[in-house]
Structure 1
Amino acid sequence: MSFCIHIIAGARPNFMKIAPLWHALSKEPWCTTKIIHTGQHYDASMSGSFFQDLNLPTPHHALNVGSGSHTEQTANIMMAYEEVCHDNRPDLVIVVGDVNSTIATALVAKKLGFCLAHLEAGLRSGDRTMPEEINRLATDAISDILWTPSADANENLLNEGVDKSKIDFVGNIMIDSFELQREAIEKHPLHELQFPRKSYATVTLHRPSNVDTIKPLTRIVDCLLEVADHIPLAFPIHPRTEKCLLKHGLMEKLSHKNIQTLPPLPYRAFMSLVNSSRLVITDSGGIQEETSYLGIPCLTLRENTERPITISQGTNKLVSIDGLLKQVRSSLAADSANKAPQIELWDGKTAERITEALKVRFLA
């Protein structure tokens, strides 16, 4: 019987990370690879359109867990995934990133005795108040195979006492996703955008610490209005952020001639928007990597990052809300030509390395 692999996806960043791996493993005759979609992001703009853009098949199993508190969502994913595993036992479970779907399905896999691999292992922010940091630590602690995106991730795991035989330094899978779609991204029309290419900043916000409560969200909105006097802003609004803006009566404040709000965008459209930006303002994780790869200045509205290599070797800077305008001015005053850093194994071949590493582990 063919070796059975489950690849878990639940939130939008997961979809981009599983796509290159799915395409690589689906060509292998020795394994059968199935996509398990937990439904953590469950609307078309956050899920279905990404599968279409990334040429992914309809998920083999859809758990449809929907939203809820961290505890509710994690518990519901665990119960639903356990049922799938009873009917379709995998030889290997691959989890990606640091969302609730990651830790929930990882726990089920290990409690049922399956081999577990974590893609994007070893990332650390050092901030245990972030749910994502807890998910990263717990998932890495129980995984049998740890696929790391950067040298600092290897060091983090070794410093935590992880046996080096579990660690495979494979590179950054997000770059594979971009390279798979590069031609389509570069050709994607931005008909809805009011601003010329390289004349604007892209803004993305969704972190609870930034958007869930009125005080920081109001400060951010006021700061964006100041920034918009210096550079136009294209702002695709995450559903969580939109809900909070409406709740606190802040959406109308964004009515500025130099601010264009947009709905959540599919992968190609979003990456086309980023690729055409002069700079990016974000609190996301993955965008720190993509902007570094593309040589686009990135200002991250967070106190810390689990991707410090994007600061030491990339184009990323951590900024406070109060310091954002100053950093925007500094970025605009700098040379606008893209100077893309060369970070080790960020080359679009991570899925190939993972496939070969699996052959060594399971077929040798």
Structure 2
Amino acid sequence: MGRIVTIIGTRPEIIKMAPVVKAIDELPHEHILVHSGQHYDLEMDRVFFRDMKLREPDVQLELKEQPPHLQVARTVMQAASVASKADLVVVHGDTNTTLAGALLGNKLGKPVAHVEAGIRSFDRTMPEEVNRIITDQVSRVLLTPTETARRNLENEDVRLGVHVVGNSIIDAIMQNSDIAAKSSKIIKRLKLGGSRFGVLTLHRAENVDAPDRLKRVLQAMEAVASRHALTVVFPIHPRTEKAAKQFGLSSLLKVPGLKVIPPTGYLDMLELERNASLVFTDSGGLQEEACFFHVPCVTLRENTERPETLDIGANVLAGTDPRRILEAADKQKDARREWPNPFGDGTTGRQIAQIVAKFFG
């Protein structure tokens, strides 16, 4: 019997890895789940574990709010004892936890499996892009969500151990959207029933930590709400709320048409997305979820590692310029919502478990 150590740390990782963890749990191998707590708010993380019906982690690390280099270093140090006994280390995505887990496995001489390998924005000023590239280079098993991601790896001369398995976010949506529709009360609670509304999420450092960019996005939301006669619901990330106060922009959180609410759990967020007319985001996961729900998306960035969404018309890039955001909203509100889902059929978790099983022979 082998020993598998899966390391996750952020709420998007909890969502995307829940189907994978559950599938690996069914294998006849010991499976140790490590949670780094990279987002610092363990209570909020527990909400996501509960919503995803994911078991409690076997190992809970103790990361405090700190710079990225210390997040990586302390994750490596705190997870070293459990990873040293692994036969396979599994990581997901592009976070500091991902990088730490991959480097730790590599330095311990343990094979690493990377879920969501090969996606690229081709912008190395993004910390996540650097994390992805390094993680892919030290991984033995590379589990890509799309053919585009596989080709990216091929172009980097990474060909061995690559498997196209789809994106586990589709598993998560398919397993939880009906539950969300029945159990979530957020549409009623926010009095959105029968009305058109948009959803905004904003959390990336390049947008939140730059006062001019944050100001432009919030100003654009007021204009979008006015032009399209819709309410823009904004589940505000703690980092974003803190930055708005720090930069003297709190008044822009109270403009007409913008409804700022506390962070939501996964099921409530699914319901908001599913019922929205438009999604505005700098999140990769929301680009994928909006695509699945056939809700047009405007991405508040200059690039995306989900080019498939652009190719099929589900998404447009707008950056943070209010004029471009308005133009993108004009275009997307009339988008034909008949695009195909490019991210798989909801069997990614099972496929990954089968590949892991074969890895152990």
Fold shared, TM-score > 0.5 on shorter chain: yes
Alignment counterpart, residue 225 of structure 1, candidates 222, 225, 228: 222
Q: CA RMSD in A?
A: 1.5
Q: CA deviation at 1:44?
A: 4.2
Query: What corresponds to 1:329 in structure 2?
Result: 330
Distance of 2:193 and 2:79 partners within structure 1:
46
Question: In the alignment, is the contact (CA less than 8 A) between 2:2 and 2:360 conserved in 1?
Answer: no
**Structure 1 residues 333, 170: CA separation in 2 closer, same or farther (over 3 Å shift)?**
closer
The DSSP-based 3-state class of the residue aligned with 1:147 is strand
After the TM superposition, which parts of structure 1 deviate over 4 Å for at least 4 consecutive aligned residues? none
Residue 189 of structure 2 aligns to a residue whose secondary structure is coil
Over residues 264-296 of structure 1, what are the superposed CA-to-partner deviations in whole Å (9 max), with x where a residue is unaligned?
Answer: 111111111111111100001111111111111
Q: Secondary structure of the residue that 1:280 maps to in structure 2?
A: strand
Tell me the distance in 1 between the aligned counterparts of 2:24 and 2:259: 40
Q: Are 2:280 and 1:281 aligned?
A: yes
Residue number among 196, 200, 205 corresponding to 2:197 in the alignment = 200
**1:33 aligned onto 2:28:** no
Q: CA deviation at 1:60?
A: 0.3
Displacement, 1:328?
1.1
**CA displacement at 1:66 relative to structure 2:** 2.5
CA drift at 1:340 = 4.4
Q: Which secondary structure state, in structure 2, belongs to the residue aligned with residue 74 of structure 1? A: helix
Q: Deviations over 1:331-350 (max 9, x none)?
A: 23445xx424132x511100
For residues 198 and 166 of structure 1, the distance between their equivalents in structure 2, rounded to whole angstroms, comes to 48
Q: Percent identity?
A: 39
Deviations 1:172-202 (A, max 9, x none): 1110111111211222222332323561000
For residue 184 of structure 1, give the secondary structure of its aligned residue in structure 2. helix
2-structure distance, mates of 1:81, 1:131 = 22
Aligned 8 A contact 1:300 1:319 in 2? yes
Deviation, structure 1 residue 220: 1.4
CA distance in 2, matches of 1:220, 1:259: 12
CA distances 1:15-62 after superposition (whole Å, capped 9, x unpaired): 01110011112122x212121001101314641110010011111001
- Alpha-carbon displacement from aligned partner over 1:141-188 (angstroms, at most 9, x marks no partner): 00000000001000000111113x310111111101111112112222
* Letter matched to residue 168 of structure 2: I
Please point out which of 61, 66, 69 is paired with 1:68: 66
Aligned with 1:303: secondary structure? coil
Equivalent residue letter for 2:98: T
Corresponding residue number in structure 1 for 2:46: 48
> So what's the TM-score if we normalise by structure 1?
0.94
Amino acid at match of 2:170: I
For residue 254 of structure 1, report the CA deviation from its aligned partner.
2.1
Query: Given that residues 312 and 339 in structure 2 are in contact (C-alpha distance below 8 angstroms), is that contact kept between their aligned partners in structure 1?
Result: no
Which secondary structure does the structure 2 equivalent of 1:93 belong to? strand
Whichever residue aligns with residue 51 of structure 1, its letter is: F
Contact 1:185–1:272 (8 Å) recurs in 2: yes
Separation in 1 of the partners of 2:298 and 2:43?
25
- Note the residue ranges of structure 2 that are not aligned, 5 or more in a row: none
Partner of 1:359: 357
CA contact (8 A) 1:121 1:148 kept: yes
Deviation at 1:360, TM superposition (A): 2.3
Output the CA distance in 1 between the equivalents of 2:353 and 2:134. 25
CA contact (8 A) 2:280 2:297 kept: yes
Q: For residue 332 of structure 2, what is the amino acid of its counterpart?
A: S
Hey, what does 2:171 align to over in structure 1?
Answer: 176
Cα 1:186–1:36, aligned 2, differ >3 Å: closer, same or farther?
A: same
| 1:112 counterpart (93, 108, 115) | 108
Matched position secondary structure for 2:63: coil
Superposition map of 1:117-156 within 5 A: 117-156=113-152
**Alpha-carbon distance between aligned partners in 2 of 1:312 and 1:340, rounded to the nearest angstrom:** 10
TM-score when scaled to structure 2? 0.94
> Distance between the aligned counterparts of 2:79 and 2:142, measured in 1?
21
Structure 1 residues 317-326 or 294-303, which shifts more?
317-326
Distance in 2 (CA, whole Å) between partners of 1:46 and 1:136 is 26
Mark the CA change 1:290 to 1:198 in structure 2 (over 3 Å): closer, same or farther.
farther
- State the secondary structure of the residue aligned to 1:19: helix
CA contact (8 A) 2:298 2:332 kept: no
Kept in 2, the 8 Å contact 1:203–1:234? The answer is yes
Alpha-carbon shift at residue 325 of structure 1 (Å): 0.9
CA distance in 1, matches of 2:211, 2:255: 20
Does the residue aligned with 1:108 lie in a helix, a strand or coil? helix
Q: Is the 8 A contact 1:314 1:341 kept in 2?
A: no
Cα contact 2:297–2:332 (8 A) shared by 1: no
Partner of 2:112: helix, strand, or coil? strand
Structure 1: runs of 5 or more not aligned: none
Superposition pairs of residues 200-349 of structure 1, within 5 angstroms: 200-229=197-226, 230=228, 231-313=230-312, 315-322=314-321, 323-334=324-335, 338-343=337-342, 346-349=344-347
8 Å CA contact retained: 2:165, 2:344: no
**Does residue 167 in structure 1 map to residue 162 in structure 2?**
yes
Q: What count of residue pairs does the alignment treat as equivalent?
A: 355
